[in-house]
Amino acid sequence: MAPDALSLADVDAFYGDGQVLHKVSFSVGEGRLLGLIGRNGAGKTTCMNVAVGLLSPRAGRVEMFGVDVARTAPEEIAQHGVALVPQGRRVFKSLSVRENLSVAARKSKDVRSFWTIDTVFDMFPRLKERHNQPAALLSGGEQQMLAIGRALMGNPRLLLMDEPSEGLAPQIVADVGRTIARLKADGLSIVLVEQNIKLTLDLADDIVVLNSGSVAFAGPSTEIKMDDAVIARHLGVH
């Protein structure tokens, strides 16, 4: 059986003395899309930070494609075929659009999907039009496209997306949703962290609900769609 794309097992994580994650466990099968949802401060972004190596867990295991990466540096984890679309986009603002993409370029061992600047521009023609502009001058939606494009330039096998719809107009959110659906259809394993429950439930195969740093629910998205009480209980929405 193929190893999971990402697996967290009994992960405890802290910021200073404050414990943020309590024995968090979940896994993402290869080619699946996992929606990670929860209230503000539930620990979703912390899970992403642990996964990409920005925060070392104090206990527990983090595996990517069967390799333990719990205390590995972010740049080494990236070599395993993992890419992050960070919360708030965090594009390199003083770099041009093209430079943002080129610094993240990495060839994949998997020849199936080979992202280059040209293929990213094919996916986001708007970026091509603005390829020489500093990223700081892009709109929020364009910066989000650039953040996604930059992540794809690493030719990842696992894509972590932290609130890609945050602060975007509804039409742009729909575009981002279509992009994610396309990437999923291409076979990419994806973790989607979102406050936008509808978007997440529309796209995800599996759902993990975090509540106060613990896993409150984990299961197929069909299950949570059938049971509004789970969403109401953990997210306070109906």
Partner 1 sequence: MSLWLTLAVNSVALGGLLFLLSSGFSLIFGLMRIPNLMHGSFFMLGAYLGVALLARGINFWIAALASAAAMALIGGLIERVLLRRLEGQVLPQVLLTLGFAFIIADVCLMLWTGDPWQPATPDHLRGAVQVAGLYFPLYRLVVVAVAVAIAIALWLLVDWTRLGAMIRAGVDDAPIARVVGIRVSQLFTLVFALGAALAGFGGVMGAPYLSVYPGLDFEMLPLALIVVILGGVGSLLGALVGSFLIGFLYNFGTALLPDLAYVILFLPMVLILVLRPQGLFGKVTT
Rg, C-alpha atoms of the chain: 17
Task: Compute the C-alpha angle 216/194/32, nearest 5°.
Answer: 80
User: Do residues 48 and 160 make contact, with C-beta atoms less than 8 angstroms apart?
Assistant: yes
Binding residues for partner 1, per CB under 8 A?
A: 52-54, 73-75, 77-79, 83-84, 86, 90, 92-95, 99-100, 102-104, 106, 150-151, 153-154
Residue 81 beta carbon to partner 1: minimum distance, rounded to whole angstroms:
10
Is the torsion defined by CA of 153, 47, 49, 238 positive or negative?
Answer: positive
User: Do residues 39 and 216 make contact, with C-beta atoms less than 8 angstroms apart?
Assistant: no
Query: Which lies closer to partner 1 via its Cβ, residue 43 or residue 154?
Result: 154
β-bridge mates for residue 34, sequence order: 191, 206
Query: Which lies closer to partner 1 via its Cβ, residue 124 or residue 217?
Result: 124
Residue 135 beta carbon to partner 1: minimum distance, rounded to whole angstroms:
9
Query: Which lies closer to partner 1 via its Cβ, residue 146 or residue 207?
Result: 146
Q: State the Cα–Cα distance between residues 106 and 166, nearest whole angstrom.
A: 27
User: Do residues 157 and 111 make contact, with C-beta atoms less than 8 angstroms apart?
Assistant: no
Query: Which lies closer to partner 1 via its Cβ, residue 57 or residue 177?
Result: 57
Residue 73 beta carbon to partner 1: minimum distance, rounded to whole angstroms:
7
Query: Which lies closer to partner 1 via its Cβ, residue 55 or residue 215?
Result: 55
Residue 86 beta carbon to partner 1: minimum distance, rounded to whole angstroms:
6
Nearby residues of 108 by Cβ (< 8 Å), 6 or more positions away: 81, 114, 155, 156, 157
Residue 144 beta carbon to partner 1: minimum distance, rounded to whole angstroms:
14
